[in-house]
Amino acid sequence: MAVPASAVPISSNVQFDAALIRKMSQQGPRYTSYPTADRFTDSFGMGDYLQAVNSVRSMGARNPLSLYIHIPFCDKLCYYCACNKIITKVRSKADEYLTYLKREIEMQGKLFADMNTVEQLHFGGGTPTYISDAQMGELMAYLRKWFRFATDDDGEYSIEIDPRTVSQERVHSLRAQGFNRISFGVQDFDPDVQKAVNRIQPEECTLGVMQAARDAGFRSISIDLIYGLPKQNLMTMDKTLSKVIAANPDRLSVYNYAHMPTLFKPQRRINEDELPSGETKLDMLSLCIKRLTEAGYVYIGMDHFAKPNDELAIAQRQGRLHRNFQGYSTHAEAEMVAMGVSAISSVGSTYSQNEKTLEGYYERLEQGELPICRGLKMNVDDLLRRIIIQMLMCNFELSVKSLELAYPITFANYFEKELEKLRALEADGLVTIDSEWITVTPKGRLLIRNICMVFDRYLGMPREVKVERMHYSKTI
């Protein structure tokens, strides 16, 4: 099936234009933060973080808290994976890790004592359910010891799981431990594709976990798909989509597989001859958008879909959607406190990242220090551009007047060069521009990263001043 060069209307809020995607596709950030993590420096340390926390406290601690907990361990290696993970069957490593993680939780809990309520919690990895049911219960109790949590009705408490590692009983236990949202990877239901990426996950296993989550009372079920994997084609993708739609998850993420074996060693085990062509990948993306929107899902942006009554879709309609290191969120103003190896916090006008290795993480905590290894303190220009990128990525529009009221700028003067670049994108049909609004068109929504890159001041900097080599995936 060939993708026509002309624009193909998919739904009222997103439009697939194969010729435009071919023209515009390039490497670029996903903007889970701005400035992006490759701008963090090791000159930022624990003292800078403490200063940020004190600044938040002195300002009245108006914002709720969002906690992220990183569990890096996995039982098995998935060849496509680009996450920071540790493959091991030695369970004692998890025991040791949890001991240190609890030290960090206590330190952060003391810093944020009496500073508002946790309204969001996310466990990521790795595989959070690598730790046992008893360990998870102890960890959740420890978090509640040091942080005050909103009620189950008011809080959003999510966990990523691997359906291959949990029983239906474990799913019920996770709900009892306080989680009310659950997400997991499917990638593709086709057995040959699963074998090619070393992730054998029978359909009945996935569907059984989904049903258990519904029976347990989880408020939201989210699944991940990937297009561009070895041995995938339109037929396998169409069959997978039919099964996914029948399973009826609340949210979906449909990711483009970025094959970068020089950067991610596990990907070297993938047979490149079995990867679909670029044209086939475009066909699969078009098919995913068509099938999911026809099934009633709303295109949220950046690979994400949700049911119209899902909180993400509602937040987007109301203009209060947010994007952070965990993806799209309804908690726009929360201070994000991230704990665990490599985890990234966003507190006040700073970002800070923990040590990326277990050895470095443990060593810092042994010394009685928060395990921060690098970060960034944003200036006024960073904050202004962050808001612009947030608005465009989350709401697909930007009010020029609201920015001019919030910041002492004249938009047309301050962003003169950026507006010149936007005019070129306007000529291609990605945006519309007038004196009061910049609006992303339906065909521009799939290329939102390209649009946001216009406002990224760091992309144009000479190579010698960049902090570390950038390895961005293609925008489509």
**Binding site membership: which residues?**
68, 74, 78, 80-82, 125-127, 160, 187, 199, 224, 258, 344
Binding-site residues for [4Fe-4S] cluster: 74, 78, 81
CA distance 46 to 269: 39
> How far, CA to CA in Å, does 439 sit from each of 8, 12, 153, 314?
20, 15, 35, 19
CA distance 301 to 309: 16
What's the 3-state SS for the chain? CCCCCCCEEEECCEEECHHHHHHHCCECCCCCCCCCHHHCECCCCHHHHHHHHHHHHHCCCCCCEEEEEEECEECCCCCCCCCCCEECCCCHHHHHHHHHHHHHHHHHHHHCCCCCCEEEEEEEECCHHHCCHHHHHHHHHHHHHHCCECCCCCCEEEEEECHHHCCHHHHHHHHHCCCCEEEEEEECCCHHHHHHCCCCCCHHHHHHHHHHHHHHCCCEEEEEEEECCCCCCHHHHHHHHHHHHHHCCCEEEEEECCCCCCCCHHHHHCCHHHCCCHHHHHHHHHHHHHHHHHCCCEEEECCEEECCCCHHHHHHHCCCCEEECCEEECCCCCEEEEECCCCEEEECCEEEEECCCHHHHHHHHHCCCCCEEEEEECCHHHHHHHHHHHHHHHHCEEEHHHHHHHCCCCHHHHCHHHHHHHHHHHHCCCEEECCCEEEECCCCHHHHHHHHHCCCHHHHCCHHHCCCCCCCCECC
Binding-site residues for S-adenosyl-L-methionine: 68, 80-82, 125-127, 160, 187, 199, 224, 258, 344
3 neighbors 22 (Cβ within 8 angstroms): no
